[in-house]
Amino acid sequence: MFFDETKVILKAGNGGDGCMSFLRQKYIPKGGPNGGNGGKGGEVILQADENVSDLRTFHFKKQWKAKNGEPGRGSDQNGRGGVPCILKVPLGTEVRDLETGEIICELMNHEQEILILEGGKGGRGNATFKSSVNQTPRQFTEGKPGMEGEFVFTLKTIADVGLVGFPNAGKSTLLNIMSNASPKVDAYPFTTLVPTVGVIDYAEEFKTITMADVPGLIEGAAENRGLGHRFLRHVERCHLILFLLDLAATDGRSPIDDFAHLQKELGEYDPRLLEKKFLVVGNKIDEEEAQNNLILFKKHFPEIDILPISAILEDGLDELKNRLLIKFS
């Protein structure tokens, strides 16, 4: 199972208490103050890691806490700082405050680190209170509590191209053939339930393009029908949207209606998605009725340049790769 959103409770470490102590030795029965300071509490740090695929770790363990700072000790020994809590999250993780909904940060690059909660400051030992008018201070301070909060982690896939289409349009087949990804392929709606990212390699150009197979959308996805929001949010960070249409109308759908509905769902979820560069590709051109549907589509959308392909026969894929390369040149 794929986990792309979860709530977590985070707590930084408390600062250690300061120490009240006086030097007591055989020949120094009334030595001065020597209580050390408490150590600072550990911080909570988020670290992006390309080897982490989803948020399952935080789904099964909701609460995370950094270590407290150690208390100060006599003989002017300061306590050690608390060990930080470093949480590794997948690239593309967005962090929001649960109470306010405010976006705290986004982690986009491998090994990027964000300090999300500061550890508590350590308390002062009595040695720090010594002065010319107070040679034997008995004051010390306790450590400060560490910061804490409740957050929502949301994973939004990072890819150059977002592959969008209704169920059974052939997205998984296309991605499987064009890249190094191996998504499940079968003749059932919603075969793909999680985003899959593949890499298209242009060896002669020394360039690669990443493509994300976003799970099939349905009408009403913008209203969160059929896990719509979970699917749509994976399109947000893509630089280009590839609309894949079923020209064969396998499930009795119309490519014209499909394209109109897909644009409608994206626009209702976030109008900015319609401002992205896009490419329209018609799949299954080898099947009966596909040519007729292609003609009807061009008549209905004369301003749209649709590229007909057959993913399963690998027909038209070289042209598709070239067009993608031009888009990112």
pLDDT at position 84:
97
pTM of the model: 0.75
- What is d(CA 208, CA 223) in angstroms, rounded to the nearest whole number? 34
- 161-327, CATH topology level: Rossmann fold (3.40.50)
Q: How far is CA 295 from CA 171, 282, 285, 302, 306, in A?
A: 22, 11, 11, 10, 10
- What is d(CA 46, CA 178) in angstroms, rounded to the nearest whole number? 34
Same topology, domains 1-155 and 161-327? Answer is no
Q: How far is CA 13 from CA 40, 83, 85, 124, in A?
A: 8, 8, 9, 17
For residue 194, count other CB atoms closer than 10 A to its CB.
19
Contact 169, 245 (CB under 8 A): yes
pLDDT at position 29:
75
Q: What H or E segment, with its residue span, contains residue 255?
A: helix 255-269
* Amino acid making up residue 225: R
Token readout for 138 is 């008995």
Q: Which class for 16: exposed (0-12), middle (13-18), buried (19 or more C-beta within 10 A)? A: buried
pLDDT at position 228:
42
Domain spans of the chain, in order of start: 1-155, 161-327
Give the pLDDT of the chain (329 residues) as one tens digit per residue: 668 889 999 999 999 999 999 998 877 777 899 999 999 999 999 999 989 988 999 999 999 999 999 999 999 999 999 999 999 999 999 999 999 999 999 999 999 999 999 999 999 999 999 998 898 899 999 999 999 999 999 998 888 999 998 888 888 889 989 886 544 443 433 344 567 788 898 988 888 898 888 775 544 443 444 444 566 777 888 899 999 999 998 878 899 999 999 998 888 888 999 999 999 999 999 998 999 999 999 999 999 999 999 999 999 999 999 999 998 87
Contact 146, 64 (CB under 8 A): no
Classify domain 1-155 at the CATH superfamily level.
Answer: GTP1/OBG domain (2.70.210.12)
pLDDT at position 258:
92
